[in-house]
Amino acid sequence: MAPVGGTAVQDHVALAEIELCGELIIAASAAEDRLSLESIDEVLRVYEEREN
């Protein structure tokens, strides 16, 4: 637990990763079947072209 004085350090990258993991878990639990790679990319906000 962080001291009351507010000296806790926040790792913004770790917090962003936790948020994305949470969004991915929510999407996976709401899906009827496995998420496609495209669906995962959409949830994780990946917008680069995939080579097939």
Summarize pLDDT for 1-49 with one digit per residue, the tens: 555 655 566 788 888 899 999 999 999 999 999 999 999 999 988 876 6
Cα(14)–Cα(4) distance, integer angstroms: 22
**The model's pTM:** 0.65
Nearest one of 20, 22, 11 to 46, comparing CA atoms: 20
pLDDT for 50 beyond 80: no
User: What residue type is 27 in one-letter code?
Assistant: A
